[in-house]
Structure 1
Amino acid sequence: MIATRNAGLFATLISGFAILTGCSTTSDAPQPAATAAKNYFSDWPERADPATVGRRIASNFVARGFDFQLNPTHRWIIYPEVCAWYGALQVAQLTEDQGLKQQLIGKFDQFRTPEGANRLSPRSHVDYRITGVVPLEIYLINGDPSYLTLGRDFADKQWESTTPDGITTEARYWSDDLYMLPVLQVQAYRATKDPKYLDRVALTMVAYLDKLQQQNGLFLHSPDSPFYWGRGNGWVAAGMAEVLSVLPPEHRHYKRILQGYRSMMAGLLKYQGTDGLWLQLIDQSDFWPETSGSAMFTFALVEGVKRGWLEAPTYGPAARKAWLGLVAYVDTAANIRETVVGTNKASKEVGPDLDVQKKYYFDRPRKTGDLHGQSPMMWTAAALLR
């Protein structure tokens, strides 16, 4: 009798915990986050400790100059810098590293002057609107309303011009958009709790899923470049994780987005390499492991396991293997290797011949320390620390 009562009490406590955290004890949340974290995301080798790896890569970012200081063809902050800054701020906050946090916030001071503000692009383009993510993250850390005003302005201007169905006219229906658009609106919601930002991003996400997602759960780079490019899919995976992290389960678009996310994660699982990574073209076995897309997938998997969107016994080991595989690519200067450079759709660069297109993806240069790879390593470190 006592054992039965204790089991019932335990089940009640777990159920109450799930309600408080927004999780379900049904198949939508197969394992409590604390259990999943303990089973799969603890006891790291020293080299793979998320706090250590995250702080190292964040400090690497602090020490860098901006691209516009080094490249005369660029006038403004560019999106890879924003993505890295966002991850670095989260790592600093979660590790309670006050020095790192102040360095990262101080890095924004120059853009709060009239001269520096000219380095914040006014263009109506997803790659520049995303700049608002950084001041919104700083506001969430220090509560300074001037950062909120600046960041929210980027988010609201993004929706000043919309299509008849309510989606910003900045939408291009490229896979990249499914991170660039959502993360800004998600940040605006986190900072204001105004549901209009959730409605915007959920509507957009569903429209993109309906248009771009394939039967296997993955996303073509474009209809005329019909290849499953790693980082293009990585942007989608990371964007869906960001949206699901704030979207209430009762929202009218929640189930559709969760379905799209789970379909993608199941599709990715089939192609994970024995080293934990995914390839530059995900389903092409003659290609090479690529770190930026792999790190984005790892972030999405970790979030899914810890938040109960995915079956932990299936996806937890995959996420752990991916993180361990990725940290092996981080060198002594905290730069990650084997990150593909910016990649346009192949059809635009080399024409319609699919064999030529495939060679284009294979031959793309790889860099060490490219922010496309540094950024999702910090997102993942933060996800593991949360």
Structure 2
Amino acid sequence: MNVITTAFMVMILLSSCKEIKTKSNETETTATNTLVDSTDKWSVRMANSIMHRNEHAYEIDHRTVPKWDYVHGVVMLGFEKLYEKTNDQKYYDYIKDYADTLINEEGAIATYKIEDYNIDMINAGKILFKLYDHTNDSRYRNAMDTLRLQLTDQPRTKSGGFWHKKRYPNQMWLDGLYMGAPFYAQYTVNFEQGKALDDIAHQFELIEKHAKDEKTGLLFHGWDESKAMDWADDKTGTSPNFWSRSLGWYAMALVDVLDYFPQDHPGRAQIIGYLKELATAVVKVQDETGLWYQVTDMGDREGNFLEASGSTMLVYALAKGVNKGYLPEHFMKNAELGFKGLTEELIKVDKDGLITITQVCAVAGLGGNPYRDGSYEYYINERKKDNDPKATGPFIMAALELDK
């Protein structure tokens, strides 16, 4: 081999090494410059994915204009818990931006109509307590007072249960216990020396008495005291099926409201008992993946599907129930299995590290127009939506409880 040939081979070799090194550096840059770091905990990854997709919190759920809504409330509550865990200011700022966008200088809440007596609208008020504590800004207190006034005047069944909405007379839905009860409890403990705790315990007593199926221990989605609705059973007034998200809302209501019941209040032991009974019932119908089906007890029926929002909520409630000492330790295995199912079956991660939660029922209810009859066919045919806030918010909370 002559000198020229040798020199030419060396140049090729150096060029190849440089190319390999450049490609390697490009790969390293791609890995480290992803939008969401895959080495972070799941709670952080979900929150950062939400923030990347939505510059402002009011944009969650594909909103283009601000709206006071329960779905924003459940996500912002997840952010509040994440801020408490991480002390990362951006999560607090995201919550405050939502509140400040909707609440004016006098404390009036934009888009909120007290005359609708929609108990869903109470839920977003849960984020105002910490904002008020941090800032002492009277706007937040005024907004909370308005929501409390709604509960004062909220129409009730003859037996004393809050109607779900003014346009749904005489009806209690499991969803409504989550929307109203924890806010009601926190408000009465913070500002009223706990005078309404008996009333709050009564809401749970009524739903347990009238919506629970004694055979399975599960609770039906809704109860119509008047039995006037077509979906209501002629004898019991209950809707015909179990819906996992409604059970998830109710389970979260139980574990969250207990934060405000003192040890010596009789309602505390009663509510813990309800939680134990519900936990026992839901783990019996938990799928081998750890998830729960849209129609909770009919996993073997055609068309049923493993649903994300109900699963995230139940995982959160089970994990928090154990962490707080309300539930026996063995339920943590069910929570762990459920979270494993979520991350392995329903979570997708894109090239930028953004995570998507799939198989979320977008919405479901009873009655209304078009009419929703609560049948099996109705629930399984409701549309699904990726990254629906009714799954993303509880996912953050579940991840935090499990420290995942």
Normalised by the length of structure 1, the TM-score is 0.76
1:237 to 231, 247, 251: 251
Instruction: Give the AA of the match of 2:342.
Output: L
Which deviates more, 202-211 or 133-142? 133-142
For residues 382 and 230 of structure 1, the distance between their equivalents in structure 2, rounded to whole angstroms, comes to 21
Q: Deviations over 1:82-130 (max 9, x none)?
A: 2111221221222111122123212322223369843333332102233
Partner letter of residue 221 of structure 1? H
Deviations 1:10-67 (A, max 9, x none): xxxxxxxxxxxxxxxxxxxxxxxxxxxxxxxxxxxx7683443453355357535636
How far, CA to CA, are the matches of 1:69 and 1:51 in structure 2? 19
Higher alpha-carbon deviation: 152-161 or 213-222: 152-161
SS at match of 1:344: coil
Q: Distance in 1 between matches of 2:314 and 2:372?
A: 29
CA contact (8 A) 2:109 2:143 kept: no
Q: Summarize deviations over 1:322-363 as a string: whole Å, max 9, x none.
A: 1122233233333311100111237986687x9xx2222222
% same residue: 20
Query: Measured at CA, do residues 212 and 256 of structure 1 come closer, stay the same or move farther in structure 2, by a change above 3 Å?
Result: same
Q: Distance in 2 between the 1:57 and 1:143 partners? A: 31
Give the letter aligned to residue 175 of structure 1: L
Q: What amino acid maps onto 2:355 in structure 1?
A: A
Which residue of the partner structure matches residue 332 of structure 2?
316
Structure whose alpha-carbon radius of gyration is higher: 2
Report how many aligned residue pairs link the two structures. 336
2:309 pairs, out of 292, 295, 311, with: 292
Change (3 A) 1:214 1:349: farther
Between Structure 1 and Structure 2, which shows a larger proportion of helix residues?
1
Distance 1:65 1:310, change over 3 A: closer
The yes-or-no answer on 1:88 pairing with 2:79 is yes
Q: Distance in 2 between matches of 1:169 and 1:365?
A: 26
Moved more, 293-302 or 197-206: 197-206
C-alpha separation in 2, matches of 1:383 and 1:141: 24
Q: SS of 1:248's equivalent? A: coil
SS for the counterpart of 1:253 is: helix
Conserved in 2, the CA contact under 8 Å of 1:162 and 1:169? yes
| Cα distance in structure 2, aligned partners of 1:241 and 1:167 | 20
1:341 aligned partner = 362
Give the corresponding residue for 1:17. Answer: none
8 Å contact from structure 1 (residues 94, 385) kept in 2: no
Please state if 1:361 is matched with 2:379: yes
Task: State the AA in 1 paired with 2:273.
Answer: Q
* Other structure's SS at 2:197 match: helix
* Secondary structure of 2:266's aligned partner: coil
User: Structure 2 stretches of 5 or more lacking a match?
Assistant: 1-37, 166-170, 223-231, 234-238
Q: Is the contact made by 1:159 and 1:168 (CA closer than 8 Å) also made in structure 2?
A: no
Is residue 379 from structure 1 mapped to residue 370 from structure 2 by the alignment?
Answer: no
Match of 1:77 in 2: 68
Q: How far, CA to CA, are the matches of 1:144 and 1:166 in structure 2?
A: 34
Offset from partner CA, 1:269-318 (integer Å, 9 cap, x none): 11111211100011112321100001110111011111111110x21111
Structure 1, unaligned runs of 5 or more: 1-45
The CA distance in 2 between the partners of 1:266 and 1:69, in whole Å, is: 33
Distance 1:69 1:161 in 2: 27
AA aligned opposite 2:48: R
1:327 maps to what in 2?
343
TM-score, with length taken from structure 2: 0.73
2:272 corresponds in structure 1 to 258
1:317 partner amino acid: K
Report the CA distance shift for 1:278/1:161 in structure 2 as closer, same or farther (over 3 A). Answer: closer
1:228 and 1:167, CA in 2 relative to 1: closer, same or farther beyond 3 A? closer
SS of 1:233's equivalent in the other structure is: helix
- 337-346 or 141-150: bigger deviation: 141-150
Do 1:68 and 1:75's aligned partners in 2 also have CA atoms closer than 8 Å? Answer: no
Q: Contact conserved, 2:252 with 2:317, CA < 8 A, in 1?
A: yes
Alignment of 1:188-207 (within 5 A): 188-189=187-188, 191-192=190-191, 194-207=193-206
Note if contact 2:72-2:389 (Cα within 8 Å) is conserved in structure 1.
yes
Whether the 8 Å CA contact 1:62–1:104 is kept in 2: the answer is: no
1:132-165 C-alpha deviation (Å, 9 max, x unpaired): 2232242244444432332233123312356576
1:305 equivalent in structure 2 = 322
Q: What SS does the aligned partner of 2:127 have?
A: helix
Point out which structure has higher relative CO (alpha carbons under 8 A, 6+ apart): 1
Pick the aligned partner of 2:142 from 149, 153, 160. Answer: 149
Distance 1:196 1:298 in 2: 32
Distance 1:347 1:59, change over 3 A: closer
- What code does the residue aligned with 2:387 have? G
1:132–1:121 distance in 2 versus 1, CA, 3 Å: farther
Establish whether residue 124 from structure 1 lines up as the match of residue 117 from structure 2. Answer: yes
Equivalent position of 1:221 in the other structure: 221
Considering only aligned residues, what root-mean-square deviation do their CA atoms show, in Å? 3.2
